[in-house]
Amino acid sequence: MSDINEAAPPPPPASAGTPSAEERQWAMFAHLSALIGGIVTAGWLASLGCLIGPLIIWQIKKDTMPFAADQAKESLNFNITLAGLMVILTALGLLTVGIGFIVIAPLMLLIGVAALVFIIIAAIKANEGVAYRYPFTLRLIK
């Protein structure tokens, strides 16, 4: 008969193909940090703010948590693509002496809403342990 005070056996370690709960959590943070960075640094710095969180998480976790590092890289690539697109649209608006913003402003709003949806989906998938790939993303960091 076992003693009541005896400790329960530790949970089994995660299998090689399944990310641990901590790794999934860091992957989720990589996606959400871009969203938070954009909110905190609203305005002209929003593009840079979206890059800081995923970059830091990728640099810290790239040697110890492959799943978290992969998702941080994916988030970083998506946000670099998004920042580049917004810079191009802003330049087009300025080149047309502001008249182009009649078309560009609603387009930027639509892109921002789509990015918000993609980031939320990515965070949920990462928390489930599924590697998410953003659509329409230039994969500049490999």
**Using one digit for the tens of pLDDT, what is the confidence trace for 45-101?**
666 778 888 999 999 999 999 999 999 999 999 999 998 998 899 899 999 988 888
Looking at residue 11, its pLDDT comes to 43
CA gap 106, 110 in Å, rounded = 6
Closest CA to 129 of 26, 12, 34, 13: 26
Query: pTM above the 0.85 mark?
Result: no
| Residue 32 confidence (pLDDT) | 93
CA dist 55 to 66, 69, 70, Å?
A: 14, 9, 11
Confidence of residue 13 (pLDDT cuts 50, 70, 90): very low
Q: Over 20-49, what HEC string results? A: CHHHHHHHHHHHHHHHHHHHHCCCCCHHHH
Using CA atoms, how far apart are residues 58 and 70, in angstroms rounded to an integer? 8
In the chain, domain spans: 21-125
pLDDT at 8: 45
pLDDT for res 39: 78
pLDDT beyond 80 at 16:
no
